[in-house]
Structure 1
């Protein structure tokens, strides 16, 4: 069984490009997951950051709240889903070093972690193995992961921090295929607005030492109806800015989100949908 690094040990992680982005939300979750009043309780993320030999602050700068809020929101969605379907399957696309399984595990869920082979290798080395957590080493766009997931019940698919790295047509094809393949379930994904997508394509220097990979798929919240019209059977339930679920965590952003133009065109989004 794989175990987390022991306190005081330092684990080397050599990643670049999109796989390296798994360390960015890990840094944010750990930083905003300390203390009883934190937006997210994630002691495993804290232990990983302490154990990995990597200059998180030097690379990514001040930890942002968005990643922690996104994780907390998807936790809440999955917990509600498992309350209704306790034996369901959850598929986490592009999961990286997310420790969500251990945060929401109800003792019965079957969890499928899908990511690129190099990311799965790091996950296998640094996170504990579990009988109900299946690791699937492939791109989310490679629909071979469909075959790893039982088709005998509801499925929750989470694509947190992922779809923006694909082209829009690839996203549409993936979601169409997913809806056709699985009998019923729910989907969570987050979005970046077009202006941030354009910035990333020009080279978004997050800090002096880290430039984010290109994110070609940017979509404003006001553009979601057109996206959903392209995916028959996928029905939106909620679409909101990342500041709206827990406004006290980002009070200024939550206030700006009340301005329709800001909300609909400028802000990153959190999207929850279902398929019959």
Structure 2
């Protein structure tokens, strides 16, 4: 059985579904649209037939709302996939992935190694759509919670340090909330890994003024923006965190982001406009004496 066949067999029934979302939860459809469109390309970065199937089944004007597809959401998904796969190879038993603000991300099915336990955390309205449209997974748990509510941490198995993703999430919080969340994760999960992305302040300010992605879609406000050059110092101020890498969206797959990569090589433009892909590790306090 090919990977595509296996993924198709896990998809939910094919009846059309209406989805009524707004604000931040609606962005799950934006990222879904870009991943589904990526499947049309011969040089695609991800194999995500479930995303294409979902777009076909959801009664929603994706093209009218979000316009031409962007490569940046597929870049983020592929980069995160690669990090999670490396984590799974490094953990001998009981690997756990926690996906904060997961929406309709189908990463579990893309990276499943037959062992991983998956904890998906999202707001109730987002989780209701996930339950409606995606199949149950025998090793998946769904938690209705804000990522800022620390109660989700109680549901995470503690046998192995988890991998925690927060793709497309933290920019919707205030900087103090981001710092507090990262600090709580570092305290609760020694030796865990964390992945998140961040937008630059100039883009954050545009969303606060009302950034129109298309004539029919305005992106929700994204209060937290930070320069790619300022991220390491921001992380160093949070006890127990170590920066493994900070890259721009242009860095991992330059063949698909040639113009963006060229601009990102100019320091002033990189500092002002580059969005970031961030990989962290929590300190293992058991090894510190």
Deviations 1:114-167 (A, max 9, x none): 000111110011001012110010000011110010122111000000000000
Q: Secondary structure at the match of 1:221?
A: coil
Matches for 1:250-265 after TM superposition, within 5 Å: 250-265=257-272
Deviations 1:224-251 (A, max 9, x none): 1231122111111111110110000111
> 2:279 maps to which residue?
272
CA distance in 1, matches of 2:246, 2:225: 15
Choose which of 143, 147, 153 in structure 1 pairs with 2:150.
143
Give the conservation status (yes or no) of the 8 Å contact 1:92–1:114: yes
Choose which of 104, 108, 112 in structure 1 pairs with 2:111.
104
Give the conservation status (yes or no) of the 8 Å contact 1:164–1:191: yes
Task: Note the residue ranges of structure 2 that are not aligned, 5 or more in a row.
Answer: 1-9, 284-289
> 1:47 maps to which residue?
53
Choose which of 206, 214, 226 in structure 1 pairs with 2:221.
214
CA distance in 1, matches of 2:21, 2:238: 34
Give the conservation status (yes or no) of the 8 Å contact 2:65–2:216: yes
Matches for 1:23-34 after TM superposition, within 5 Å: 23-34=29-40
Give the conservation status (yes or no) of the 8 Å contact 1:222–1:265: no
CA distance in 2, matches of 1:41, 1:146: 30
CA distance in 2, matches of 1:194, 1:237: 22
Taking only aligned residues, the RMSD between alpha carbons, in angstroms, comes to 1.2
CA distance in 2, matches of 1:268, 1:225: 14
Give the conservation status (yes or no) of the 8 Å contact 1:34–1:41: no
Give the conservation status (yes or no) of the 8 Å contact 2:236–2:242: no
Counting matched residue pairs gives: 273
Stretches (4+) displaced over 3 A? none
Matches for 1:1-276 after TM superposition, within 5 Å: 4-6=12-14, 9-86=15-92, 87-276=94-283
Deviates more, 1:21-30 or 1:219-228: 219-228
Task: Note the residue ranges of structure 1 that are not aligned, 5 or more in a row.
Answer: none
Q: So what's the TM-score if we normalise by structure 2?
A: 0.92
CA distance in 1, matches of 2:253, 2:242: 24
Q: So what's the TM-score if we normalise by structure 1?
A: 0.96
Q: Secondary structure at the match of 1:222?
A: coil
CA distance in 1, matches of 2:274, 2:11: 38
